[in-house]
Structure 1
Amino acid sequence: MRSDILVKGQHHSGGSGSDTFLEAVQPRLIIATSRDFPEYERVSDEWAEQVRARGIKLFRQDETGAVELKFGRNDWEARAYITGETFRSANR
């Protein structure tokens, strides 16, 4: 099962943040909730680095705020509300 975009309600915890799952799904973008309190809701630096080392773009919602997704016939685009950063799909 592959997916270009993975939305994580609880970032690195659970099976959908594991190396095995990420290897199987091969997302290009992960949108992860993150906040300072409670501490277990924070994206760990270690997990974020592992994601980036795989070449996956990470939008942490404590930094990006809401993320708007726009889908075209053959492409998609994600735009961060706070930073304005944009990430676009590329052909696989």
Structure 2
Amino acid sequence: MTEKKAVSKTTKANIFTRIGRWFVRLFTKIGNAFKNMWRELGKVTWPTREKLVNYTMIVVAFMLFMMVVVGLLDAGASKLVNVIMSKFSA
């Protein structure tokens, strides 16, 4: 009876081969991510120029409104602090 010795097929490759494979996999994953991103950007429904200008004007108007509101609140709080400080000083 002859017994055959089992040969292990799970021998590790040397360190340089493993590092090389790691870099190849890394760049492949990065490339696939960019390909998928490009495909998804192709599916996006982009706004028309008129809608884009309209949305921009709405945002700018809201920002101006909020600037006025915050400015008034700041001025009111400043006056209130000045009144309180003048009452308790002197």
Same fold (TM over 0.5): no
Larger Rg: 2
With normalisation by structure 2, the TM-score equals 0.19
RCO higher in structure (CA 8 A, sep ≥6): 1
Q: Structure 1 or 2: larger helix share?
A: 2
With normalisation by structure 1, the TM-score equals 0.19
